[in-house]
Amino acid sequence: MGRGKLTIRRIENQTTRQVTFSKRRAGLLKKTHELSVLCDAQIGLIIFSSTGKLCQYCTHPLSMEQIIERYQKLTGTRIPQHDSREELYKEMTILKKETHHLQLSMQRYACEDISSLTYQDLDHLEQQLQHSVNKVRDRKKLTKHPI
């Protein structure tokens, strides 16, 4: 007996969405490999997760660059080459600021008696701690159910 029909819509729970993505990605990669072996097809598959992580597959002995080059020649299109250094620099700057802010917060709360904090400071600390706890819980769920 088969499964019921699945309604295709975005999965709201982030952890469930990540687990589903990982399982479906594995299935897609398996089918891609089977197609390339059975039919001697040259395949290039590029997947970006919702977190921006790259996953790619290309048939042996070709590289992804060779497959993209062949695609560009056949279609007459060009994929613009952009300098990702600017994007990386922006992201690095943002992460440095965030890291610096968190380090200052840690130093401040580690060296300071909590009774001297204002209501706003306590509220901010609570939000930071709750965010950290949520990240730990999400990570635990992912490690408990490995891909």
For the segment 41-51, what is each residue's pLDDT rounded down to a tens digit?
999 999 998 88
Q: CA 81, 98, 145, 9: dihedral to nearest 10 degrees?
A: -60
Residue 10: φ, ψ to 5° = -60, 135
Q: Please say whether the dihedral angle defined by the alpha carbons of residues 18, 20, 23 and 24, taken in this order, is positive or negative.
A: negative
Summarize pLDDT for 97-133 with one digit per residue, the tens.
888 777 777 766 666 566 777 888 788 878 888 888 8
Whether the Cβ atoms of residue 43 and residue 59 lie closer than 8 Å to each other: yes
| Percentage helix, strand, coil for the chain under 3-state DSSP, each rounded to 5 | 65, 5, 30
- Judge whether residue 146 has pLDDT over 80: no
Q: Which of 57-66, 98-107, 131-140 has the largest mean confidence? A: 57-66
Q: What angle do CA 19, 58, 20 make, to 5 degrees?
A: 10
Q: How distant is the alpha carbon of residue 54 from its chain centre?
A: 8
- Judge whether residue 38 has pLDDT over 60: yes
Look up residue 36 and give its two tokens. 């390339």
pTM: 0.49
- Judge whether residue 53 has pLDDT over 80: yes
- Judge whether residue 91 has pLDDT over 80: yes
